[in-house]
């Protein structure tokens, strides 16, 4: 400890979901996609070789940037790519917030990395409680003095999304405050604000390849926004790492984007299965808010989230549990394949007997 800085000694790091390899699990704990990535990804992997790996990659991930711009209907200057959307979000804190004055505002129950980043970068932050039905209290957030907002849409771990119209009204009212819309799960909802970044210079949309593109292992995410915001992210990136998107990552993600048909088919299967799984959980007596993501937030009266999580783990099924107020009554369950979900449901039935 004596060699560590005060920051290293006192910081509270983010706790990622378990990545256990000790046995074969039905793994429904980190919102991964149950389907493999597009076959074009495998082809791209075979192609990246020799010269691609001998050389440094493009510092702006230019090839991928152009492909993302095409997908989102913007120009490459409106796109920033990073090592997972976690890195893009991390860089956004020093890019758009200062250590003094009005800081960042986000919900009390949302992606817990926002709090970690804000603390790490020494940025003041205010948390606004969700309403009783787990929806975001956008009106209360609007009243909160701050320099900008982080809104996970759909929110995690509740899975609840805010429709585009309501989000646009929020962005318009925010005016000189920046709104960072974390759309990690947006493809399962289909209400992205990305097209609106052309009209609102205070809107930054952050997305990822980890969920709907089945590429959590490659680590890639991106931001879409006004060129001035993107420039801010580049300035921060170039203080940390010149090449966060490596050559393999760039080739793989570009290939995934080229197969929109595959992306839509797998996403639709997950959305359909989400509805079936929710119905089955409700039938087992769980409380499950309607989800717009690839996971469900499920709690059962008289059974703690910890009990459900622990018993399922013993049975070889991993779900996510947080020992925190409100969250401790629930588990977050990723939508798996129909077969995986059937295993989950059968184990739950036994546990509840
Ligand atoms: N935002 C939200 C809301 C998430 O749940 C996650 C996944 N943990 C991320 C961002 C980060 O995803 P990634 O770094 O894999 O792009």
Q: What is the CATH number of the domain that holds 229?
A: 3.40.640.10
Same-domain status, 317 and 203: no
Total number of domains constituting the chain: 2
Same-domain status, 148 and 188: yes
Q: Which of 184, 187, 223 to mutate to test the pocket of ligand 1 (most atoms within 8 A of CB)?
A: 184
343: pLDDT confidence band, cut at 50, 70 and 90?
very high
Radius of gyration of the CA atoms of the chain, in A: 20
- Which pTM was predicted? 0.97
Whether 98 maps to a domain, the answer reads yes
Name every residue whose Cβ is closer than 8 Å to that of residue 105 and which is 6 or more positions away in sequence.
Answer: 125, 126, 127, 128, 141, 144, 146, 148, 149, 150
Taking the C-alpha atoms of residue 340 and residue 337, their distance in angstroms, rounded to an integer, is: 5
Residue 161 and residue 295 in contact, taking contact as beta carbons nearer than 8 Å: no
Whether 296 maps to a domain, the answer reads yes
- Please provide the DSSP assignment of 9-37 as one string: HH-----PPP---SS--EE-SS---SSPP
The pLDDT value recorded for residue 57 is 95
Query: Which stretches within 81-226 are classed as H helix?
Result: 84-96, 113-120, 138-143, 164-174
Tell me the CA distances in angstroms from 247 to 68, 217, 307, one per residue in order. Answer: 16, 14, 44
Tell me the CA distances in angstroms from 95 to 60, 88, 198, 230, 272, one per residue in order. Answer: 17, 10, 20, 9, 38
Q: Is 208 in the pocket of ligand 1 (CB under 6 A)?
A: yes
Taking the C-alpha atoms of residue 60 and residue 70, their distance in angstroms, rounded to an integer, is: 16
Residue 200 and residue 279 in contact, taking contact as beta carbons nearer than 8 Å: no
Domain-ending residue, one of 233, 259, 285: 259
153: pLDDT confidence band, cut at 50, 70 and 90?
very high
Taking the C-alpha atoms of residue 294 and residue 208, their distance in angstroms, rounded to an integer, is: 13
Task: Please check the confidence at residue 97 and state whether its pLDDT lies above 80.
Answer: yes
3-state secondary structure of 149: strand
Atom of ligand 1 nearest to the CA of 30: 8
Whether 1 maps to a domain, the answer reads no
Range of the domain at 27: 6-36+261-352
The pLDDT value recorded for residue 52 is 83
Whether 348 maps to a domain, the answer reads yes
Same-domain status, 289 and 254: no
Q: Is 157 in the pocket of ligand 1 (CB under 6 A)?
A: no
Domain-ending residue, one of 259, 275, 300: 259
- Across residues 194-198, what is the average pLDDT? 98
- Across residues 311-319, what is the average pLDDT? 97
Atom of ligand 1 nearest to the CA of 86: 14
Q: Look-up: residue for tokens 């991930």? A: 61
Taking the C-alpha atoms of residue 259 and residue 245, their distance in angstroms, rounded to an integer, is: 20
Question: Using one digit for the tens of pLDDT, what is the confidence trace for 7-54?
Answer: 999 999 999 999 998 889 999 999 999 999 999 999 999 889 777 899
Same-domain status, 249 and 343: no
3-state secondary structure of 106: strand
Q: Which of 111, 183, 223, 332 to mutate to test the pocket of ligand 1 (most atoms within 8 A of CB)?
A: 111
Question: Using one digit for the tens of pLDDT, what is the confidence trace for 103-124?
Answer: 999 999 999 999 999 999 999 9
**Protein residue closest via CA to atom 1 of ligand 1:** 184
Taking the C-alpha atoms of residue 310 and residue 304, their distance in angstroms, rounded to an integer, is: 10
């Amino acid at each position: 400890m004596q060699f560590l800085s005060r920051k290293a000694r006192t910081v509270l790091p983010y706790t990622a979901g378990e990545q256990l390899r000790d046995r074969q699990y039905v793994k429904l704990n980190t919102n991964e996609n149950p389907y493999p990535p597009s076959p074009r990804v495998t082809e791209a992997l075979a192609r990246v070789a020799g010269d691609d790996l001998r050389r440094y990659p493009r510092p702006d991930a230019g090839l991928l940037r152009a492909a993302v711009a095409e997908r989102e209907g913007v120009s490459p200057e409106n796109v920033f790519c990073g090592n997972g959307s976690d890195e893009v979000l991390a860089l956004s804190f020093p890019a758009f917030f200062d250590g003094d004055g009005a800081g960042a505002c986000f919900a009390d129950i949302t992606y817990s990395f926002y709090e970690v980043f804000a603390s790490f970068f020494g940025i003041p932050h205010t948390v606004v409680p969700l309403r009783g039905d787990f929806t975001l209290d956008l009106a209360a957030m609007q009243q909160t003095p701050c320099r900008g907002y982080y809104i996970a849409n759909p929110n995690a771990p509740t899975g609840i999304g805010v429709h585009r119209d309501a989000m646009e009204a929020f962005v318009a009212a925010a005016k000189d405050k920046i709104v960072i819309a974390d759309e990690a799960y947006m493809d399962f909802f289909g209400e992205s604000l990305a097209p609106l970044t052309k009209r609102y210079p205070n809107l930054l949309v952050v997305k990822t390849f980890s969920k709907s593109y089945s590429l959590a292992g490659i680590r890639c995410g991106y931001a879409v926004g006004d060129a001035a915001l993107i420039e801010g992210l580049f300035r921060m990136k170039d203080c940390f790492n010149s090449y966060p998107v490596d050559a393999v990552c760039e080739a793989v993600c570009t290939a995934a984007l080229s197969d929109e048909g595959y992306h839509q088919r797998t996403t639709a299967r997950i959305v359909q299965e989400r509805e079936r799984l929710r119905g089955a959980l409700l039938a087992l007596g769980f409380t499950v808010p309607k989800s717009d993501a690839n996971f469900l937030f499920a709690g059962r009266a008289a059974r703690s989230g910890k009990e459900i999580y622990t018993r399922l783990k013993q049975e070889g099924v991993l779900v996510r549990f947080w020992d925190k107020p409100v969250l401790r009554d629930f588990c977050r369950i990723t939508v798996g394949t129909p077969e995986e979900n059937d295993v989950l449901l059968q184990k739950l039935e036994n546990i509840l007997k």
